[in-house]
Structure 1
Amino acid sequence: IPQIFMHVLNPKHESEDHLEAVGHICSLKDAFGYENPSEIANLISAEKFEAALAIHLYKGGRLLQGSRIPFGIIFGGTDINEDVKHEEKHRVMGAVLEEARFAVAFTEKMKELAAAEWEAIVVKIFYWIPQDTENLRLFLLICGLRRVKDPLYLVDVFSEWHRREPHIHLVIIGPAVSWGFFLLVLIYVYSHRFILEIPQDDLHAAAKRCFAVVNSSISEGMSAAILEAMDLDVPVLARNIPGNAAIIQHKVTGLLFTDPQEFVQLSKSLMNDPTLEREIVTKAKVYVKKHHSWDCEREAYQNLVLRLQCSVDQ
């Protein structure tokens, strides 16, 4: 059983559970803690890692360039949607893909985008929960505070809607990924009284209490918040961008909006049509179980690591 070095952006990742379940020894490292491949090379040598997984083609993958151990890449979303627009990042990511033994794309669309860029691979501010009221309608936006997540996109239209209908609330939950942008958001939405980051279990509890989960990102790879909402039987309203459209079928497994005004229109339709709400929730649950099964994902990652193990043995 090879010792797996997982190069990740968060202190914990579900892939670790998948791999440790079959006996692999995993060590997770934050990509932001390292500056160049030589630091990673020294880490690999000191810890005697035998294989690696990098999450995010640029942020994680670039540090594995020239690695002496076999490695695989898991696309993050920002890499395919945003980093490809920067010439140097594009070049680096292409080089990483050439060295990687495999790359994991969350959706067929993401795979197509990657293949179009590199022909060679045709292979986290605050939260406030109002007191319970009979007619409360709570919309929950879960995201890291950074520009690509566009957390202010719906604030103006929500403010106007809330003035007319005080039982309507927008709650934004997530970490301050960029402190400069976080301060901008905090100043902008100060009157909404958003407070404190919360643990995942409490986040799930908040999601269960809300009317719908909202995604207003400019770009996405695959939104975990959307998939978790589907699994928790909570309707999803998401901005109509490729990453969201890849996992949401409009008016079947969720609702897709193109602008703030359409968001309000669709939200009101959902609130006034309990049958539509039930149908969306039911079909979304089926979709998640079929296409994002924990067991299937576990097996897939285990099989991918077996490829790395075979490379080690060779």
Structure 2
Amino acid sequence: MTVMTSAVNRAGCVISFCDSLQKKASALWPNLPPSQMTVITQAVITKPSVFSLHRHLQDNNGICDSEDRHIFLLVGAVRAVKNPIYLMETFTELHRVNQKILYVIIGPVSDERYYNEEFQPALQRSEGVVYIPGLLFEDTHKAMHQCFALVNSSESEGMSLAILEAMQLNTPVLARNIPGNSAVIQDGQNGLLFSTPQECGKKALRLLSDDTYRAQLVFSAGEYVAVHHSLKQEEAAYVNIVQQICKDDKDDGPICVNGHR
């Protein structure tokens, strides 16, 4: 918090990815002028490779019929805030009822202690759950395109790039109902939000049983990303901010905040 406060006090502009984050910043630093704050949503670009998730599962995990499976995919580094354990029991129960359901987690280990003490033991006792220690970005995009749905179970998000990437790749999203996710997803319109593992399970089954409903979510998500998360809009917004800061600096002379130029 000390480091963040120092950075904010010296900043020409404080940028948030969504309104909820801007409100949080205003609450944390009430002396920050509203004119010094702005919201710029993240742009999203996906470049899927020729990677085959199904071949990878066959070669590395012995799953020979993965093309016939319903793969729910979580993408994110293995650490507590991403909470990859949160839905393991739910998807184990779904797998026991329907062997075609798989829960696949892709991401590098960024917290060794969490991995050894919590993640690995939970993984070992979970059926139908597969862990892939991390892939290249392009290969991850291809895996997201090939899965049945993307899942997000994070405790906290600024704005999940994986969610935006899945939307652009025509993959439906099941995400935990937290501020960063609800800023992007309108439940039942361009994705699905859940507040408990049980609710996630019910909505996963709805996706599996209603192809028309799934197609509608995918279509709306693609339209949403194209309108609100384009690269051109993001570029223009940042260029405008830099130009304005340079103009203010030129007009007013050196900017000093807390004694620093």
User: Which range, TM-score by smaller chain?
Assistant: 0.7 to 0.9
The one-letter code matched in structure 2 to 1:291 is H
TM norm structure 1: 0.66
Q: Distance in 2 between matches of 1:167 and 1:296?
A: 41
Look up the match of 1:187.
Answer: 121
- TM-score, normalised relative to structure 2: 0.79
Contact 2:104 2:132 in 1 (8 A): no
Question: CA 1:200–1:134 in 2, change beyond 3 Å: closer, same or farther?
Answer: closer
The aligned counterpart of 1:244 is 181
**How much has 1:99 moved relative to structure 2?**
1.4
RMSD: 1.9
Aligned partners of 1:303 and 1:240: how far apart in 2? 33
Aligned to 2:199: 262
Unmatched tracts of structure 1, length 5 or more:
1-88
CA distance in 1 between partners of 2:175 and 2:238 (Å): 28
Q: How many residues align?
A: 222
Native 8 Å contact 2:158 2:180 kept in 1: yes
Task: Tell me the distance in 2 between the aligned counterparts of 1:217 and 1:103.
Answer: 24
Distance, in Å, in 2 between the alignment partners of 1:234 and 1:116 is: 35
Partner of 1:154: 87
1:139 aligns with 2:77: no
Once the two structures are TM-superposed, the CA of residue 132 in structure 1 deviates from its matched residue by 4.2
Structure 2 CA distance for aligned equivalents of residues 178 and 196 of structure 1 = 13
Gaps (5+ residues) in structure 2?
Answer: 38-52, 58-62, 254-261
Amino acid at match of 1:102: C
Q: 2:164 corresponds to which residue?
A: 227
CA contact (8 A) 2:109 2:133 kept: no
Tell me what 1:282 maps to.
219
Once the two structures are aligned, what percentage of the paired residues are identical?
A: 39
Tell me the secondary structure at the aligned position of residue 221 of structure 1: coil
User: Would the alpha carbon gap of residues 131 and 204 (structure 1) be closer, same or farther in structure 2, given more than 3 Å must change?
Assistant: farther
**How far apart are residue 304 of structure 1 and its match?**
2.3
Matched, 1:103 2:14: yes
Q: Distance in 2 between matches of 1:260 and 1:131?
A: 28
Secondary structure of the 2:31 match is helix
Q: Deviations over 1:193-230 (max 9, x none)?
A: 52332101110111111000000001111000000000
1:168 matches 2:101: yes
Give the whole-Å Cα distance in 1 for the aligned partners of 2:112 and 2:99. 30
Alpha carbons 2:104, 2:131 under 8 Å: kept: yes
Once the two structures are superposed, residues 46-69 of structure 1 have per-residue CA deviations (whole angstroms, 9 ceiling, x without a partner) of xxxxxxxxxxxxxxxxxxxxxxxx
Partner of 2:25: 114
**Structure 2 contact 104–130 (Cα < 8 Å) conserved:** no
